[in-house]
Structure 1
């Protein structure tokens, strides 16, 4: 079908069905069925107005389903004329769907799955493949999520912070199977920015773009992790970086700083450095101070210790690390890095090995194991017979 990609029409079509009297869960199911039919349609079946066609097919499917279950409710359906072409209501309910799918009653996993289906237009199979779970498992997760919000009004205001968090979770899933979730999150974030007046939405989009711009340089041969300092910066997408920086500047000019804007500012400083040695670590520490003030997050405190170690030396970084819970994920790896910078190589090698043993990600475990071997070799060749 020509024109707007079908998946981008899904929120608007769901909105039309809800306004005609369908409940959200039934509307979403009907639109998914219509979408599958549209994707399977041959050239001779493709209409000039895909949105009107989707509304017509989805509404018929909803009515068929409602008639079959008429005994469960005494509600009378107000059947509107079915459009077969021509004008379609221009009301865009996408923003309301974002809020509904990210409702606080849902778990993060359920909110992500429901957002990808109702707003992103992905099929249950695509979502299941992306998350490496059976399709039946994902179908149950989505069904449970829809039941949890069955009584929530379509007009009920939602929480913008929750919506942004859901998109952030989608982005962090990255790429798997035939669905690039990072790219999908960027598409949805662009849509959200166009619909809302929230600088943090722009900050999140900027953050996604700045991180995504470095994607090609993050892995080497065989999927080997490449740390930021060792990445080939010629592989970074300069146009995406420029767009991210422009969006960030516009958001910061609104003077309503939030955590995603602060994170994007840190990413922009990394992107601005032509080489790792030219990174403005002092300014990055200042932004981590702002981020810590906004969130109080121990993860932010841990990342700040790394930045302090780069800006003020390893000893200062270790001092910043002293007040952080050592059971925190990545704590041991950060300690290993700072001890290596401080010259206590034997101890650093032991910490890298401990971090590798605790890693749950295979690529990360492989990277930390190599780091342990590298630093152990340095220790032996630098000071034969010494361990630290």
Structure 2
């Protein structure tokens, strides 16, 4: 049988020809995947150490998730929220229980979850806290990445995300990440929420100082301000706990979830909070045609059930220790610093050696796919189904790249 798929150079050329250049992908064209492995159109296999920016925490085509999707595809895919479907209640209940919250509001993308949280926090501020109409403020952190909608990029400090998209939505105060005093000083009577990533992924997997998150929780409680935890990348097993906040015993007022919630099959996001917060919404005030659709709920419910076993959190802890131990051995051998938690790591490469982009290109040549971020920093985030041998193989190839 003749395989008439495009080869890599042709497929890359066509992608560049017909697509707006909002991404700069590596010249790899994937055609199939399973577990922690990807195969390109030329038949070459790669270890996936990006996992779709943590959207593939359970690996490619996890059998239980694929089975749930197939079963639902044969029955019902979309109703819109104009009607109730038979997958909706289970998904919302089981996700709410996983989060320890009363209510869930399903959406599609991470950015939609963030926009939902912003709207709910403002409405809560006006209806519950008593902030004068139109004056609500939200405190955010430098180096944040919460998405790329017009509102969100307005409080980004990354020039690529921020510049040339104004005018921007007012009402946000930016403070240094990890600086509790600055955060506290930015809060006043108009402040309705602090929106923060427990670990800043896009910034290079930056873990805040120990005690920072509990301090943020304490300040928010004392000042009657909602704590919104963006766990879209850090949550759902990635760091070794169900949520990154769990490592310091912090319970936010609202979890913002996405990426892995869709099992790498469909876009699924949600916010989870108690009734005194999410209960401020009324019919017609917020929604989405595809949010909470039957296919999304069927897959999302199976994701929650996988997490409920604790297996993936345990794998992230145990295998993450192996990954970080191996990475720390390379500090001084081409790496300047290593950060992260669980199966998530940010690596600063000696800029005299290469950029992050060059490192990822050279890793790809050696069969490992990763992603650069700023300057000479790259991120590693393998699926949580990765094995010890696969981690060792990636470390071997990284060491070879650094050695030149």
> Shared fold by TM > 0.5?
no
Structure with the largest fraction of helix: 1
TM range (shorter): under 0.3
Structure with the largest fraction of strand: 2
TM-score of the superposed pair, with normalisation by structure 2: 0.27
Q: With a CA cutoff of 8 Å and minimum separation of 6, indicate the structure with the bigger relative contact order.
A: 2
- Larger Rg over CA atoms: 1
